[in-house]
A and B are shown apart, each in its own frame.
Chain A
Amino acid sequence: MDRELTAWALALAQALLFIAAAPLLAGWLQRVKCHMQNRDAPAVWQPYRNLAKLLRKQMLLAENASWLFRAVPYIVFGAVLLAAAVVPLFAVHLPSAAIADMIVLVAFFALARFFTALAGLDIGTAFGGMGASREMMVAALAEPAMLMAVFTLSMTASTTNLSVATAYMLQAGLVLRPSFLFALLALAMVAVAETSRVPVDNPATHLELTMLHEAMILEYGGRHLALIEWASQIKLMIYSVLIIDFFFPWGIATDFSAMALAVGVIAVTAKLMLLAVVLVVWETVLAKMRLFRVPQFLGFALMLSLLAMLTHVVLETG
């Protein structure tokens, strides 16, 4: 009973840490990127300041905004929050992992995206509609690739539960699995597309014709915008932590002793910082691609995840 209580408390702490640390990851990413491009870097807490400012600001709504437009930021934030509660950040075997498995996790993201697209259409501006249609195009191509990559992992671990799968990867030790290599590449490409990073989208600009994600949320302001931006920062963190959990799980806590938990937190922090540096290098060497090149990019991701699944079946089981 006591142990169960500890476990739930830890699960809660993990979820809270997840949402509290997401802006920090975004700030670190921004800082490394600025250094990389020889610009003056803002402080790592700049995203917190931005969020606080947006939360304090007065909110303006378009005249023809319906209840849907006002509800969407909360739906999006809620969906992402639930997703964050499921992903093991610094410890496995937490009871919250039973809330949802990998497929439901993908569905949470789909739900958030669907409602964002609806909100983009709701106001009736040209940009909202354009952004919604583009986002849905990217999503329709990215989702099968993501699901295939996730299926490859769950076929190896014989489970779709994230926590159990992570624990399996951890205790399997170092096995050279080609399917994991391909799944990692596919998942990274999908993550780049889904979190609106270069080369699929550029989160830093409001350039009219190239916006994808930004075009949909153009009409939002005040605390609605704060919630949506926070949600997208959490989403980036979820994708990063997913990649870490599946492919580099070493260091994550398997029991609830203070020592193991401390090691888990430090390990995941170090790995997230490294992953952010990799992402920055990727974003710096690549240019944003034309919209009509995106299907080819994601088609390659789908091919990679199919290849991952095939190599698992052909090479790793027989």
Chain B
Amino acid sequence: MGIAALGLYSQAIILFAALALFTSFIMLAQARMMPLIFTFAWQGLLLAVVSVLTAIASKHPELYVSAALTFTLKVVLIPWLLYRLSIKLNMQYDAEAIEHPTLLLLGGVALVIFSYFVAQSIIHLSGLATRNTIAVSIAIELLGMLLMCVRKSAVAQVIGFMSMESGIFFAAVVSTYGMPLIVELGVAFDILVAAILFGVFFFHLKDSFGSLNVGQFNRLSEANQPMPLRDAAGEPSPGDPS
């Protein structure tokens, strides 16, 4: 069944799903902190729009609730929390150097191909009009993971994590028309608590290490004190492989 045979709502769902995938790629390429947060908010908005469209097309009114949840959490609350945090930590103009940007994007493309391959078996079992977008939801999840893997900044890693959660939520919407509402509420609450906890952690990290770059976290907190003399202690330090 080609796209031209689908109704306008299904076409719009596919279009917005593709745009959400595109925002994942933009997040991979975006080195600056503020645009990264805004791109994450855009992705949330696109996913909320997909939920609303799915609700209209499939006549599942409970999807409106999950769309509203997505909107409040991923478009308003979490981006606002992260935004305020980056201003408080004075890192709104931070940009990190991305190593091998083009290679990273091509790696992302490879992940999309992989998720298409994985989703094939699910697509055959599903009879929903949105079944083609399952591959996209898996891809958003994997791209969020890739973002967490390659970025050094803790804020970017949190955004990667949230983006993974968006992917899971999206997968639920397009493969089964949403999870049970109680599960969804629970996950949404978890995410909110996670965002707040991450915020608290950011402050502690900034205090202890002076930076949010996870590459520097392997320095122990004694880094700014003189190193203890190993021979004088007479026992191996905790980091020793022996």
- Shortest CB-to-CB span from B112 to chain A, Å, is 5
Contact partners of A300 in chain B: CB under 8 A: 29, 105
Contact present for A310 and B1 (CB under 8 Å): no
Selecting from B13-21, B69-77, B232-240, the interface stretch reads B13-21
Selected from A175, A302, A314, A316, the residue in CB contact (under 8 A) with B135 is A314
Contact partners of B112 in chain A: CB under 8 A: 307, 310, 314
Selected from A175, A177, A178, the residue in CB contact (under 8 A) with B19 is A178
Contact partners of B19 in chain A: CB under 8 A: 178, 181
Contact present for B22 and A182 (CB under 8 Å): yes
Contact partners of A172 in chain B: CB under 8 A: 4
- Tell whether B40 is near chain A: CB-to-CB under 8 Å: no
Assembled-state Cα–Cα distance A303/B26 (Å) = 11
Contact present for B3 and A316 (CB under 8 Å): yes
- Tell whether B85 is near chain A: CB-to-CB under 8 Å: no
Contact partners of B29 in chain A: CB under 8 A: 300
Contact with A along B222-237 (1 / 0, CB 8 A): 0000000000000000
Assembled-state Cα–Cα distance A181/B14 (Å) = 12
Contact with B along A36-78 (1 / 0, CB 8 A): 0000000000000000000000000000000000000000000
What residue of chain B has the Cβ atom nearest to residue A185's Cβ?
B22
Taking CB atoms and an 8 Å cut-off, the chain A residues in 210-244 that contact chain B are none
Selected from A182, A295, A310, A315, the residue in CB contact (under 8 A) with B14 is A315
Contact partners of A311 in chain B: CB under 8 A: 18, 21
Selected from B14, B108, B131, the residue in CB contact (under 8 A) with A316 is B14
Contact partners of B15 in chain A: CB under 8 A: 176-178, 181
Question: If A181-B18, A299-B101 touch, does A175 touch B4 (CB 8 Å cutoff)?
Answer: yes
- Tell whether A6 is near chain B: CB-to-CB under 8 Å: no
- Tell whether A257 is near chain B: CB-to-CB under 8 Å: no
Taking CB atoms and an 8 Å cut-off, the chain A residues in 112-146 that contact chain B are none
Question: If A175-B4, A176-B12, A306-B109 touch, does A296 touch B22 (CB 8 Å cutoff)?
Answer: no
Contact present for A307 and B2 (CB under 8 Å): no
Selected from A178, A302, A310, the residue in CB contact (under 8 A) with B113 is A310
Contact partners of A176 in chain B: CB under 8 A: 3, 8, 11-12, 14-15
Question: If A299-B101, A310-B113 touch, does A318 touch B1 (CB 8 Å cutoff)?
Answer: yes
- Tell whether B116 is near chain A: CB-to-CB under 8 Å: yes
Contact with A along B105-132 (1 / 0, CB 8 A): 1101100110010000001000000011
Contact present for B2 and A317 (CB under 8 Å): yes
Contact present for A318 and B14 (CB under 8 Å): no
Contact present for B18 and A303 (CB under 8 Å): no
Contact present for A295 and B21 (CB under 8 Å): no
Assembled-state Cα–Cα distance A205/B25 (Å) = 34
Contact with B along A257-300 (1 / 0, CB 8 A): 00000000000000000000000000000000000000110011
Assembled-state Cα–Cα distance A220/B196 (Å) = 65
- Tell whether B155 is near chain A: CB-to-CB under 8 Å: no
- Tell whether A313 is near chain B: CB-to-CB under 8 Å: yes
Contact partners of A299 in chain B: CB under 8 A: 101-102, 105-106
Contact partners of B49 in chain A: CB under 8 A: none
- Shortest CB-to-CB span from B175 to chain A, Å, is 14
Question: If A310-B112, A316-B2 touch, does A178 touch B18 (CB 8 Å cutoff)?
Answer: yes
Contact partners of B131 in chain A: CB under 8 A: 318
- Shortest CB-to-CB span from B113 to chain A, Å, is 7
26 contacts between A and B (CB under 8 A): A172-B4, A177-B15, A178-B14, A178-B15, A178-B18, A179-B18, A181-B18, A295-B102, A296-B101, A299-B101, A299-B102, A299-B105, A302-B105, A303-B25, A303-B105, A306-B109, A307-B22, A310-B113, A311-B21, A313-B116, A315-B14, A315-B17, A316-B2, A317-B2, A318-B123, A318-B132
Closest 3 CB pairs of A and B: A178-B18, A299-B102, A316-B3
Task: Give B residues with C-beta under 8 Å from A.
Answer: 1-4, 8, 11-12, 14-15, 17-19, 21-22, 25, 29, 101-102, 105-106, 108-109, 112-113, 116, 123, 131-133, 135-136
